Each structure stands twice: as structure tokens, then as C-alpha cells.
Chains A and B, each alone.
Chain A
Amino acid sequence: MQSSRLTLALAVACVFSLNAVAGEVEVLHWWTSGGEAKSVAELKKMMSAKGHTWKDFAVAGGAGDNAMTVLKTRVVSGNPPTAAQVKGPSIQEWGGEGVLATLDAVATAEKWDSILPPVVASTMKYKNHYVAVPVNVHRVNWMWVNPEVFKKAGAKVPTSWAEFDEAATKIEKAGMIAVAHGGQPWQDATVFESVALGIGGADFYKKAFVQLDAAALNSPTTLKTFETLRMVRKHMDKDMPGRDWNLATAMVINGKAGMQFMGDWAKGEFTAAGKTPGKDYLCVAAPGTDKAYTFNIDSFIVFAQKNKDLKATNDFASTVLSPAFQQVFNLNKGSIPVRLGADMSKFDDCAKKSSADFVATNKAGSLLPSFAHGMAMPSAAQGAVQDLISSFMNSNMSSQDAVAKLLVAAKKK
């Protein structure tokens, strides 16, 4: 009797002490496709190695619209998960709702300020406290090129928008489509963003689309951006409305089209088709943007928990940013590690170039958040700007009108 009571007490003590070190991490994400799911399994393994139990909270559905609805429900009902996949200015919006926890303890201990580029670090902070942890970096201002098509047309890969017009015309004369594009609002915005960066350069981009400065938005540079976009639009095929981005990529892969403007997730399609970078396809910066880098970063926000014990949360954040996880995850996802000075030896040429440019543009101050992918503007402004670009691409709106409307759209809060 005595001994059994002792055992019970011990067992209880054990359970409690276990609870003190280990916890349950529940992470909401929408990485449900093949490579992504594999990466999440890796994260799960690393977390259980630290003694935490992992509760998967995956919500399928591409861009995470469904997941956000589920997340809001959970937060409103006072039962938030440990972390959720949220990015860009939405981090600030969630911060404004006052439901996030701070990661300052682990960030200071692991010197996040020095391993992350400042522009990345600042998007992870709400009022100077870390509330989110970045996972990966996608470069958005890529142009994917089928060299075979260029050779047949006798064109050369353009490095400016004027050269682009020339090359595209040659490709069309040779009977092929110059630009493969999917006419969905976010894809339209992706092209617009690269054009704006190529025309105006990093400083203009930053002023106009990050700081939403009225003078920059209302400048001749913006006007020229819309005019150039109109020119680029003419080189797209007429069947583009509603086409998915991966179908457009397939057109470049099988030589129907010469180029596509798309972030580096397009690489996955090339890889899946058994193509090698440098030989079957080229990844070059969009015309005029090789000295700049627009990024799209996935990140996790962490929520304040009822029991206030943030051990599990901190361990989670530390694991996500650890060199081992960064490498495994990004090899699977096709993106690059967000840590400066990551070991890139296992990555392909496009990723190596992306990483080198990531580091270089960070030093040069031309590392920029992509607004088309929700990294730069509040979601209301982003939506309104995206609506405008899309309606410009699909109507006869004049460039002057577009500039005037852009000014209004960017002010939406």
C-alpha cells in the first residue's frame, strides 16, 4: 500500500516535471503538397527529439485562405494554436489584434538580429519585438527562359525592357509565344512588380510600393511602368485569362513560349519535368532587375498561450531557424535559407545564384519585399492595387488613369 502510493506520487511528479520541460506544439500550416509535407515531417521529427509532442494542424488549399478562416475562429474562441503560417504585413495586423507572444528571449540568445537581413528581421517584429520566425526565402523577380526558343528565333536574352520588346517580337515572328502568363490577379501583380523594379530601380520601388509615398506613386516613373506593362501585355498570348501559373510554366518547358515571369517556385515544375538549369532552362533576373531582389518569405507567427509557458514555442522557433532545418526544408521546397551565410553546397545553380544575390542585395540595400505576394503593403492596399493592375491588364485603361487610380488604391487602409 505504502509503496504503491509512493509509486503513484512519483508517477504524478514525473508527469508534472515532464510537463514542465515538454509541451505540445500545434502548428497551423498549408504545406500539404509532396515536397512540403516531407519538410514538415522533418520539423516534426526535430521537435520530438526535443521532447515535444507535435500536433499537426494542416489546412489544405493553396494560398491559405481556408487556413486563415480556421485560424480566426480558433483565436476568437480563445484557443489559438502554438504557431501559424502568416506572412508579411499580416504579421503586423495580427500583432495589432494583441494575441501574439514574443520570441525576444530566443531571438536574443541566438542573435537573430545578426543572422537575418535587417529588412527581413523588421517584418518579423511587431513594435520592435520578435513575434514571428521566418522559414524560407523565395525570389520573385525571376524570368524563366527556354534557351531553345530564343535560339530558334535568333533572339538574345533581354537585360532591359527595351531589349525585351525586341526579343519578344523576334520570338513572335518565329511563330511562338513570347511570354507565358496566367491572367490571375496575383500573377498580373507579379509581372507589374518586376516591370516597376526594372524601370524605376530599388529606391523608386521602395518609396512607391513599400512606403506608399504619394510623390513616387504619382511620378513619371510610375507612368512609364504602366506603359511598359502595356507593351509586355501585348507579348502575352490571348488565352491567358484564368490560366494557372504552372500551366504557363509548362508552356516554357515544352518550348511553346520563350519566357515567364514567376517566382522560384516555378523551378519545381522544371525539376519535375527532368530539366537541368543552365542547359534546358535559364533562370535570370527580370529585365533591369539583376541588382535587386524582391523576396517572398514564409513565416510563422506565435500565439500567447493560456498557461504562459513559452518553452515549447521558443524551441519551435529555434528549430525552424536552425541551419539543419533550413537546409532540409528549402531543398524540398525549392526556396533558399533565410539565414545569411547558409551552406549552399547541396543546392542547384538557380538557388545558389538566388542566395548570392540575397546576400549581395542585403548589403547594397536593394533587398525588397514583394508586394504582389503580400510582403510590403497592408492587405487592404495590396488587394486594391492588385485589382487595379488586373483591370489595367484587361481593359483599355490609359496609363494616366491607372496612375491616378493607383494613388487612391495605395491609400486603402
Chain B
Amino acid sequence: MTASRQGAPGLTFSRLADIILPRLVIAPTALACLIGFYGFIAWTAWLSFTESRLMPRYEWAGVVQYIELFGNDRWWQSMQNLAVFGGLFIFVSLAIGLVMAVFLDQKIRGEGFLRTLYLYPMALSFIVTGTAWKWILNPGLGIEKMLHDWGYTQLTFDWIINPDFAIYTVVIAGVWQSSGFVMALFLAGLRGIDDSIIKAAQMDGASLPTIYTRIIIPSLRPVFLSVFMILAHIAVKSFDLVMALTGGGPGFATDLPSIFMYQHGFTRGQLGLGAASAMMMLFTATAVVMPLLYSELRRERRG
């Protein structure tokens, strides 16, 4: 009785501090996120239901902007481009990154140097990558001209000016930039795997390919998820790469939703339509990422 009375004030104070202090520390960040993130999502959603032109107007107008958006050829083209670009970009970057990581993991000489070499493209901004590849791929300046100068005049490589193939040049530039980074993540994952499991497998007489396909790569599952998330969001927000590489052209053959949104929202005075397209981008991203996150979280809880 007396002991608890003596101990009580100090205990409640420190308990109070325990409760309040973390919340106090988190509060500013939480508030900033709430306003800067969810607040503006809500604001954009609201704008997408108005007839805002040059500047925001707040009269409810129903789903006119969405009807307009779904009737727009260019929007569908840009969504299709995102599917092609996003799919290939993520898949190819993952594949190349993983292969490079596995090769680098063979305890070879000069690993540090090679790692830096592979990782270096990540140090460039997408604008630089885009501009450089624009020159490399330009038939009159780059690869095609070089081949012609060497005498292979019948070879053509004009994807960048061909509306049917231009989107693949964006994939090339994107993969060039990102696969080194993917490699670095996988390499870190590979190094985190317990050696004793591999040694045990070796004792059992498993070959190196079997060890990789049956033990190592499956245990990289969390790395796959992170890499997928990062690449997916790079794909969805890709803007500067395309602007520098093709400017969305030829025509709008390499247009992406982000470019569509920027142009309509900010340069063409169709803020409402821009907001509607931004919402659609959000839904698309959510639709892709949510199931993945959900399954992963459930797995962790179960495991």
C-alpha cells in the first residue's frame, strides 16, 4: 500500500511520458503526411469532379471529366504505353539485375570496380540518360550511322523515329539506367543469405545452378518485392526520361499518363481533366501494388 503510493507518482509520470512522447515526436510528420499527402489526394479528387479550367473552381460538375477522359484517344494510348513500358521495364531490369548480381557474387577479382561500373548509371538523372540515348538512337547521329559508316548500309535501327517501336527505346534507356541499381539490391540480398545453408546443400551434392534456383533465389523473395515496388513507381512517375528522349513523340507514340496529366493540367488549361487523369493513375498504381502488399503482409503475419 505505502510502497505503491510512494512509487505511483513517478511511475505515472514516466508512463505518461512513455505514452505522450512518441506521439509528440511522430505528430509533426504525421500531420505533414496527412495534409501533404492525403489532403492533396482529396483535393485532386475534388477537382476532378469540377469544371476547373485554368484555375481551381469548386462547383460540383459530376463525372464530366471522366467521361471526357475515357473518350480521349490519347489517354488510352498513354495507358497502353504505360503497360508496355512498365511491364517490360520492370521485367527486363529485374532479369538483368539478378543475372548481374549472381555473376558478381562468384567472388571474382575486381568486384568493387565492376559494382561501381554497373551502379554508375543510377548516378545520372533521367534527363541526362534520355538526352544521351536520344543521340545514340538517332539514325542520323548514332548507332545506325555508325553501322552505315562501317559499311553495313542495309542495316537499319530507327526505332526512335518509328511510332510503332519508339516506346521500346524508352524501355532500353530505362533499363540501362535502373538495372545496375537492381543488381546492387540483389547483391546485398545474396550476401545476407546464411552461408551454412549453402554449405549444407553443397555437402548434399547439389550443383551450383540448383543451389541458386532452389535455395538462394527463393530466399530473395523480400528483395524481389522491394525491387518491384521501386521499379513500378519509377515506371508510373516516368516523365523526364520520356520528355528528354522522345518528347512523347513521334506523334504521341511514347506518351505516358504522367505527361498527359502535366500537359492537360498545367499547359492546356484543363485542370479538371488533368485531375481526373491523376486520379486514374492513382487507381492504377493502387490496383497493382495493393494486392501485392496485402499478400506479403499476410504472409509475414502468418510466418
Contact B267 A68 (CB under 8 A): yes
Q: Which of B164-187 contact A (CB under 8 A)?
A: 166
**Is B240 in contact with chain A by the CB < 8 A criterion?**
no
Contact status of A239 and B269, CB under 8 A, knowing A72-B55, A393-B251, A394-B253: no
**A93 to B54 Cα, complex, angstroms:** 7
Contact B264 A383 (CB under 8 A): yes
Contact A242 B134 (CB under 8 A): yes
Contact status of A97 and B54, CB under 8 A, knowing A240-B161, A393-B251, A394-B163: yes
User: Which of B28-36, B93-101, B242-250 lines the interface with chain A?
Assistant: B242-250
Contact A241 B54 (CB under 8 A): no
**Which residues on A sit within 8 Å (CB–CB) of B247?**
184, 242
Q: How many Å from the CB of B28 to the closest CB on chain A?
A: 24
Contact A65 B270 (CB under 8 A): no
**Is B257 in contact with chain A by the CB < 8 A criterion?**
no
Contact B250 A241 (CB under 8 A): yes
**A359 to B118 Cα, complex, angstroms:** 63
**Is A379 in contact with chain B by the CB < 8 A criterion?**
yes
The listed residue (B54, B73, B163) touching A72 by CB distance below 8 A is B54
**A148 to B264 Cα, complex, angstroms:** 43
Contact B163 A395 (CB under 8 A): yes
**Which residues on B sit within 8 Å (CB–CB) of A75?**
55
**Is B237 in contact with chain A by the CB < 8 A criterion?**
no
**Is B140 in contact with chain A by the CB < 8 A criterion?**
yes
**Which residues on A sit within 8 Å (CB–CB) of B250?**
183, 241-242, 390, 393-394
Contact status of A395 and B138, CB under 8 A, knowing A65-B266, A93-B54, A379-B269: no
Q: Which residue of chain B has the shortest Cβ distance to A387 in the bound complex?
A: B74
**Is A391 in contact with chain B by the CB < 8 A criterion?**
yes
Contact B246 A242 (CB under 8 A): yes
B-contact bits for A373-413, CB 8 A (1 contact / 0 none): 00000111011000100111111000000000100000000
Contact B269 A93 (CB under 8 A): yes
**Which residues on B sit within 8 Å (CB–CB) of A184?**
247, 249
**Is B139 in contact with chain A by the CB < 8 A criterion?**
yes
**Is A364 in contact with chain B by the CB < 8 A criterion?**
no
**Is A238 in contact with chain B by the CB < 8 A criterion?**
yes
**Is A112 in contact with chain B by the CB < 8 A criterion?**
no
Contact B161 A238 (CB under 8 A): yes
The listed residue (A93, A391, A392, A405) touching B53 by CB distance below 8 A is A93
Q: Which residue of chain B has the shortest Cβ distance to A237 in the bound complex?
A: B140
Q: Which residue of chain B has the shortest Cβ distance to A66 in the bound complex?
A: B266
**Is A90 in contact with chain B by the CB < 8 A criterion?**
yes
**Is B263 in contact with chain A by the CB < 8 A criterion?**
yes
Contact A239 B55 (CB under 8 A): no
Interface hub of A65, A96, A242 (most chain B Cβ within 10 A) = A242
Q: Which residue of chain A has the shortest Cβ distance to B156 in the bound complex?
A: A238
**A378 to B269 Cα, complex, angstroms:** 9
Q: How many Å from the CB of A22 to the closest CB on chain B?
A: 31
**A94 to B55 Cα, complex, angstroms:** 9
**Is A76 in contact with chain B by the CB < 8 A criterion?**
yes
**Which residues on B sit within 8 Å (CB–CB) of A76?**
55-56
**A112 to B270 Cα, complex, angstroms:** 32
A-contact bits for B47-58, CB 8 A (1 contact / 0 none): 000000111100
Q: Which residue of chain B has the shortest Cβ distance to A73 in the bound complex?
A: B55
**Is B160 in contact with chain A by the CB < 8 A criterion?**
yes
Q: How many Å from the CB of B130 to the closest CB on chain A?
A: 11
Contact status of A242 and B54, CB under 8 A, knowing A93-B269, A379-B268, A383-B264: no
Q: How many Å from the CB of B261 to the closest CB on chain A?
A: 13
**Which residues on B sit within 8 Å (CB–CB) of A238?**
139, 158, 161
**Is B212 in contact with chain A by the CB < 8 A criterion?**
no
**Which residues on A sit within 8 Å (CB–CB) of B56?**
76
**Which residues on B sit within 8 Å (CB–CB) of A394?**
163, 249-251, 253
A-contact bits for B260-276, CB 8 A (1 contact / 0 none): 00011011111001000
**A185 to B246 Cα, complex, angstroms:** 12
**A239 to B246 Cα, complex, angstroms:** 12
Contact A239 B138 (CB under 8 A): yes
Contact A94 B138 (CB under 8 A): no
Q: How many Å from the CB of B245 to the closest CB on chain A?
A: 8
Q: Which residue of chain B has the shortest Cβ distance to A413 in the bound complex?
A: B53
Contact A383 B263 (CB under 8 A): yes
**Which residues on B sit within 8 Å (CB–CB) of A242?**
134, 160-161, 246-247, 249-250
B-contact bits for A71-94, CB 8 A (1 contact / 0 none): 010011000000000000010011
14 cross-chain CB contacts under 8 A: A68-B266, A75-B55, A93-B54, A97-B54, A183-B161, A239-B138, A242-B249, A379-B267, A383-B270, A387-B251, A387-B252, A393-B250, A394-B163, A395-B251
- Extra pairs beyond A72-B54, A97-B55, A242-B249 (13, CB < 8 Å): A76-B55, A96-B53, A239-B140, A241-B161, A241-B246, A241-B250, A383-B263, A383-B264, A390-B251, A390-B252, A391-B251, A395-B251, A405-B73
- The chain B residues found within 8 Å of chain A, CB to CB, are 53-56, 73-74, 134, 138-140, 158, 160-161, 163, 166, 246-247, 249-253, 263-264, 266-270, 273
